[in-house]
Amino acid sequence: MSTTFWIIIAAAIATYLTRIGGHLVISRFENIHPRVEAGLNAVPAAVLTTLVAPEMLNAGPAEWAALVVTALVSLRGGLMPMFLAGAAVLIAARQFVG
Amino acid sequence: MTTDAISESSAKSDFWQGVRLSMPVVVASAPFAVLFGALAVEQGFSVLEAFLMSALVFGGASQMVGIQLFGQHVAPWLIVLSIFAVNFRHVLYSAGIGRRIAHWPLIQKALGYFILTDPQFAVAEARAQSGQTVGFAWYLGLGLPVYVLWIVESALGAVFGKLIPDTHALGIDFLLPIYFLGLVLGFRKRPLWLPVVVASAVGSIIAYKTVGSPWHVSIGAVTGILLAVILPPRHSGVEARP
């Protein structure tokens, strides 16, 4: 079995634990410490930001244009319009600046 | 009609009511499933592996994170940990939905938690709050079409992804950062969002320049989370309890 296969299996188990774990754990503890809760609330934004920020260091004009448009559309639209607008700008800009 | 026949026919109509409610979710998630398949192949997955990941993990954002890190040759344990971190929000859904499905048999519960995604939680919770019971047939009708099509479309995306000749011109390599930026911005109404994002961005960029990839992900994430933990909880909109 390949490493990729085992990564997928482990990721599947880890994911299932998050889906069943809240019920198993949180229903047992009446109180979560406020600081733990604050930390948990910060998890999605903190993790996802680290996947974008370093990419900005290597970004050229086409990539920057796409990110700016994505951010602007986000003020109005949902995830899908935001993504499609950013992708459209990126593809269009790459035809000119490569 | 016997009681069995009555409950069977009502379960059937509950199922189809769930299926109708699943349609917007099916439509909205389709492009991401295809995109996941195409990107997974681009990052070195086989079609079978892309299919398997969709079938077993069934969590869009976390799958995207996984293949992005996989493409950067990040250590396997860190890939799994990152997927776990992105999916951690399900803990809260799980705690919430547990009250609604407490009457289900164990096997049905085990299956129900497996297909507990963001929209599944949102729609089921809305039904419960309107005073209706969340039955297994209805819940399955809501989740099953999303699950089946997610897998099929991922495989199609993977097959199609192999046929894309010039991935750079189509921007395939930069679609994930755009998608993640979209996800980050989607959380912008949360308390303390901007300080956490700035802290994580600065932390990850410094780590990227000094320690290097893949550590910038965990170091950056810990920077942002620590900020939220260290600041007084009221800044995070969390009530201090006695």
Task: Give pLDDT, residue B194.
Answer: 95
Q: Where residue A30 falls among pLDDT bands split at 50, 70, 90?
A: low
Q: What is the pLDDT of residues A33-82, one digit of tens each?
A: 788 778 777 877 887 898 889 888 889 999 999 999 999 998 888 777 88
Cβ–Cβ contact B167 with A under 8 A: no
Question: Is the pLDDT at B73 greater than 90, yes or no?
Answer: no
The whole-angstrom distance between B164's CA and the closest CA on chain A is 14
Give B238's DSSP letter.
Answer: P
Greatest alpha-carbon span in chain A: 58
What would the two tokens of residue B62 be? Answer: 């976390």
Domain presence at residue A79: yes
Task: Give pLDDT, residue B3.
Answer: 58
Cβ–Cβ contact B229 with A under 8 A: yes
What is the residue range of A58's domain? 44-98
Please give the tally of structural domains in chain A.
1
Task: Give pLDDT, residue B237.
Answer: 73
Contact B149, B33 (CB under 8 A): yes
Domain presence at residue A55: yes
Selected residue with higher pLDDT from B204 and B31: B204
Question: Is the pLDDT at B234 greater than 90, yes or no?
Answer: no
The ipTM, to two decimals, is 0.82
What would the two tokens of residue B152 be? Answer: 């099929």
Q: Where residue B227 falls among pLDDT bands split at 50, 70, 90?
A: very high
Domain presence at residue A1: no
Q: Where residue B99 falls among pLDDT bands split at 50, 70, 90?
A: confident
When mean pLDDT is compared across A86-95, B49-58, B152-161, B164-173, the lowest value belongs to: B164-173
Task: Give pLDDT, residue B214.
Answer: 67
- In chain B, what residues touch A8 (CB-CB under 8 Å)? 49, 52-53, 56-57
Task: Give pLDDT, residue B242.
Answer: 41
- In chain A, what residues touch B68 (CB-CB under 8 Å)? 51
Task: Give pLDDT, residue B59.
Answer: 92
Domain presence at residue A6: no
Domain presence at residue A97: yes
For the residues B14-32, what does the mean pLDDT come to? 87
From the number of C-beta atoms within 10 Å of its C-beta (0-12, 13-18, 19+), residue B210 rates as exposed
For the residues A90-98, what does the mean pLDDT come to? 86
Cα–Cα distances in angstroms (integers) from residue B230 to residues A37, A43, A47, B207, in the given order: 12, 14, 17, 21
Contact A4, B72 (CB under 8 A): no
C-beta atoms of B182 and A74 within 8 A: yes
Question: Is the pLDDT at A98 greater than 70, yes or no?
Answer: no
The residues, ordered by sequence, that sit 6+ positions from A89 with a Cβ below 8 Å of its Cβ are: A62, A65, A66, A69, A70
